Amino acid sequence: MMKKILVTGGTGYIGSHTVVQLLQAGLEVCVIDNLCNSKVEVIDQIQKITGKQVYFAKGDIRDRSYFKKYFPSSSD
């Protein structure tokens, strides 16, 4: 089974470069970023560079209701 990695801040400078490396290593990547210091277009650029799909969700994991939506089995 392919490993899935969650990268928070994955459209930022360090995050996007990390995502490219992870994809090129054959891992599946999901990015959560609130886009306060980056643009969603970065996802398209990553996909163009790697030829691989990135799952993207805009939001902040510090927001409890948002976190629960994506990680419903997490405990309080």
Name the site residues for ligand GDU (rule: CB under 6 A). Answer: 9, 11-15, 33-38, 60
Tell the smallest beta-carbon distance from residue 54 to ligand GDU (Å).
13
Nearer Cβ to ligand GDU (35/49)? 35
Question: Which CB atom, from 25 or from 60, has the smaller least distance to ligand GDU?
Answer: 60
Sign of CA dihedral 9, 50, 3, 70: positive
Determine the Cα–Cα distance for residues 46 and 53; give it in Å rounded to an integer. Answer: 9
CB of 1 to ligand GDU, least distance (A): 28
Nearest to 8 by CA among 75, 56, 69: 56
CA dist 60 and 76 (Å) reads 17
**Closer by beta carbon to ligand GDU, 14 or else 25:** 14
